[in-house]
Chains A and B, each alone.
Chain A
Amino acid sequence: MPTTEVLAAGPRPLPMAGLGADFWATQGQNLLFGAIAILAFLAIIALIMFGADLVKGGARDKVQLVVLITPVLALLGVGLIYPALDTTWLSFNEISNEPDPTTGIYTTTMQFVGLDNYRFAFSDPTTLRTILNTFVWMVLVPILSTGIGLAYAVFIDKAKGEKVLKSLVFMPMAISLVGASVIWGNIMYDYNQVGEQTGMLNALRALFGMDPYNFLTDNPWNTFWLIVILVWIQTGFAMVILSAAIKGVPAELNEAASLDGANAWQSFWRITIPSIRSTIVVVLTTITIMALKVYDIVRTVTQGRDQTDVVANKMYVLSFVEGREALGAALAVILFIFVIPVVVYNVRSLNKVKETH
């Protein structure tokens, strides 16, 4: 029941005080710049495409092929493949910035140190803990999201208001990881040592006469409470995709099973699960990759305090805050090593699908 009285009461600075004199000019300029960039981009693409159409004879197809694929290949080569290789190379080096003994000028030198950065990553307790935490994320997030999503999809299948029920669980997908972190870190998990509990979960505990619990400092469980945030977001994704798969299971199969006297539980395990197995695998892999790369949650909620850090956040801090790029690079490579099995598996299944087409 919001009241507007507070708004009117008491002197307040002018409501627009925060917007500087040139605020609208700057924002207008930025918006215009964005619009021009889009139009220019589309115009250039169209010009090049139609330019390639003027080519006569047998070369035309080739020129047009080049026009079609070059932007993507060039951007990926320069912006993703080369940087990835460069980072990998950097991870085997040490960067030092020291004054030259004779001239005294600071110079940056790169020295090959082999696996030193990796050795450090796996021996330094903080960094090792970071790697272990990432591993826990990688295992728990996909299992919990897929498990809950599947259960929910089955429970609400063909239920009244299925669409609305789906939207409720799916909605967090639209919320940023930062927003979700605020929701959970600042509101659900909030903890007051004394006085009224403002956090929803601690208020619930108080209702049952339990002591308040500091979710975010209780190592090692705090990592689990952070994981809950990503599960909250990803369950909707798992649910929507698994629900579509369940609806595709041929009705005849369930029909036959029920004629054979199978109960709902049995036909779920013997019919539904095997029929949607491949979809489950896809959902698990997609969420695994997501869980590995997530850095927003840890950065927003704990900044890695109380041993909650993960590789993705640590890598950011090392590279962009502490200036230890080489170690940061090693962590990025470790992150990549975690996904290599997923890449190999997916490429193999893609090839299989291509063969059968």
Chain B
Amino acid sequence: MSVTMPPQHPVDDETPTQGKALPTKRSDKAKERLSSPWATVAAIVIAVFWTIPTIALFMSSLVPGDRYRTDAWWTVMADGALTFENFSHVLFDSFGDNSTAPPLLQYVFNSIVVTVPSVVFPVVLGLMAAYAFAWIPFRGSSFLFVLIFALQVVPLQLALIPLLRLLGPENLGLAGEFSGVWIAHTIFALPLSVFLLHNFVSHIPREVLEAARVDGASHTQVFFRIIIPLSLPAVASLAIFQFLWVWNDLLVSAVFGSAETYPLTYPISNLAGDYGQYAYLVPPAAFISMIIPLIVFFSLQRYFVRGLLAGSTKG
């Protein structure tokens, strides 16, 4: 997506690695003077401001229900009355604005069932198309690629109503089912998937592919023997990206799902805006919904960052 790159652009893959060791040392020196005490203070303020809210959420989720409205978590903590009971209540007993609401555990499973296929489908289909657009010349190739690229920014709101009708009872009858949600997620993920993987696949050295083609390998064989193994890093970062996106999505699931398929975000969003007597259940539920993405994030951060960089800074 980037424009007019300076000759030695940072994240350009083709920048040779030669001479890296020496300049780093020199830039260390050059950078040192930038870190004035004020900059340090500002950085600390930002870091604190970006961390405290999540900690506050966790602490608030430990406040017992009868004190949630009246006492702040630090007061409750001073009394030693914080409890993990909310977590078990939300997960196993009930989560909602009445005690007959289903427990959150059901939505945890729904989130898993919604998310995993919605990651696999667009990544596989995207990789196939990415190979075709990058390495098989055909008429209209660049037009179609630019079109797909442009579709990335089309607000999905524009497609919701007709797509719901297509998947709805009058046509495919998949709306409200997991399969309907998967299809919707897959469609909305394809433009980014094709674009990201294309960037990566097109950087595979030409000689590797040509050698295989000269040996008589078909596109199918090249795809399975070369493209898939070599693209695994890109596939990994895209998969993490898509995982977080689908897991955290509310709109697509709200439109194409039903009470049987709603993921974690749906009941949490509903209860969060209703500041009634069950409001104390919202923080533990929100925290539960974050555990899996945060684990994914912290354990696979490297790939995630790589995916972001590929998606937004490479032509």
Q: Which residues of B contact A6 (CB under 8 A)?
A: 64, 81, 83, 85
A42 sits at the interface (CB 8 A): yes
- A159 and B10 contacting across the interface, CB-CB below 8 Å: no
Taking A76-B148, A181-B272, A192-B69 as known contacts, 15 extra A-B pairs with beta carbons closer than 8 A to each other, sorted by chain A number, are A7-B85, A18-B103, A19-B92, A33-B113, A64-B220, A157-B35, A158-B32, A175-B54, A186-B272, A240-B309, A255-B27, A300-B269, A332-B157, A353-B3, A354-B142
Chain A residue nearest to B149 (CB atoms) is A350
Chain B interface main SS type: helix
Once bound together, how far apart are the Cα atoms of A264 and B29, in whole Å?
Answer: 11
Judge whether B272 and A185 touch: CB under 8 Å: yes
Question: Nearest residue in B to A32 (C-beta to C-beta)?
Answer: B113
* Interface assignment of B209: CB less than 8 Å from any CB of chain A: no
Alpha-carbon gap, A133 to B184, bound state (A): 28
Question: Is the beta-carbon distance between A3 and B81 smaller than 8 angstroms?
Answer: yes
With A69-B128, A300-B269 in contact, is A175–B56 under 8 Å at CB? no
Taking a contact as CB atoms under 8 Å apart, the answer to whether B268 and A175 are in contact is no
Among A81, A157, A179, residue most surrounded by chain B Cβ atoms (within 10 Å): A179
Q: Given A34-B116, A279-B10 in contact, is the A293-B156 Cβ separation under 8 Å?
A: yes
13 CB-based A-B contacts, threshold 8 Å: A18-B93, A76-B148, A84-B159, A90-B162, A178-B289, A203-B74, A240-B309, A248-B12, A251-B24, A293-B155, A335-B157, A339-B153, A346-B153
Query: Which residue of B85, B126, B269 contacts A299 across the interface (Cβ within 8 Å)?
Result: B269
Q: B126 and A176: CB pair below 8 A?
A: no
Kindly identify which residue among B23, B124, B273, B313 contacts A282, using a CB–CB cutoff of 8 Å: B313
A-B contact count (CB 8 A): 458
Per the bound structure, the CA–CA distance linking A53 and B216 in Å amounts to 12
By a CB distance below 8 angstroms, the chain B residues around A278 are 2-6, 9
Asked if A80 CB lies within 8 Å of chain B CBs, one says yes
Interface membership of B231, Cβ < 8 A: no
- In the complex, whether B211 has a CB less than 8 A from a CB of chain A is no
CB <8 Å contact, A285 and B1: yes
**B47 CB–A CB distance under 8 Å:** yes
Task: Determine whether the beta carbon of B112 is less than 8 Å from that of A31.
Answer: yes
A188 touches B23 (CB 8 A): no
Residues of B within 8 A of A105 (CB): none
